[in-house]
């Protein structure tokens, strides 16, 4: 996992020491890369050239370097780290087993085995209210 922004590595160091380390014990455990000039942001379509910053985006890229998911959000709305971790776990589970994960899936919950036998019968295997803790 990497984080990238147009901020300098000095700004990242201060952010890590003054903010992140107080929210996450020891700070975030992954590298924070500086994209001064927006070259990486431009490749991913999130660099705002007029403002000189990358718009907040996250990209889940598999070991084959294929983007599996992405989300781009403007600064007024924060991102959901718990949802990001859930999605990473779901993609890892699918890659390991071939099973697909329904909406809101969490480790240990019901997965689906894709194929003709499942067509028209998802409701028999997966109850969203039960699986998502609503019922």
Q: Using one digit for the tens of pLDDT, what is the confidence trace for 68-121?
A: 999 999 888 888 888 988 999 999 999 999 999 998 899 999 999 988 988 888
Same domain, 61 and 86: no
Domain total of the chain: 2
pLDDT, mean of residues 120-134: 80
The pLDDT value given to residue 65: 93
Same domain, 25 and 64: yes
Q: How confident is the model at residue 135 (pLDDT cuts 50, 70, 90)?
A: low
In our burial notation (b when 16+ CB lie closer than 10 A, e otherwise), range 33-69 reads: eebeebebbeebebbeeeeebbebbbebeeeeeeeee
Over the stretch 31-80, which tens digit does the pLDDT of each residue have? 889 999 999 999 999 999 999 999 989 999 999 999 999 999 988 888 88
The pLDDT value given to residue 125: 84
Same domain, 92 and 71: no
Domain that holds residue 70: 3-77
Same domain, 73 and 87: no
Same domain, 66 and 8: yes
Same domain, 87 and 106: yes
pTM reported for the whole predicted model: 0.76
Same domain, 7 and 59: yes
The pLDDT value given to residue 59: 93
């Amino acid at each position: 996992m990497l984080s990238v922004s147009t901020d300098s590595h000095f700004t990242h160091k201060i952010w890590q020491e003054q903010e992140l380390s107080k929210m996450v014990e020891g700070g975030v455990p992954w590298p924070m890369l500086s994209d001064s000039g927006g070259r990486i942001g431009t490749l991913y379509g999130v660099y705002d050239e007029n403002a000189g910053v990358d718009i907040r985006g996250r990209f889940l890229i598999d070991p084959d370097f294929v983007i599996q998911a992405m989300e781009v959000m403007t600064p007024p709305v924060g991102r959901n780290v718990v949802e990001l971790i859930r999605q990473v776990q779901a993609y890892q589970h699918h890659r390991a087993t071939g099973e697909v994960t329904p909406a809101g899936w969490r480790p240990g919950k019901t997965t689906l085995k894709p194929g003709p036998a499942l067509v028209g019968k998802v409701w028999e295997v997966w109850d969203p209210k039960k699986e998502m803790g609503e019922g």
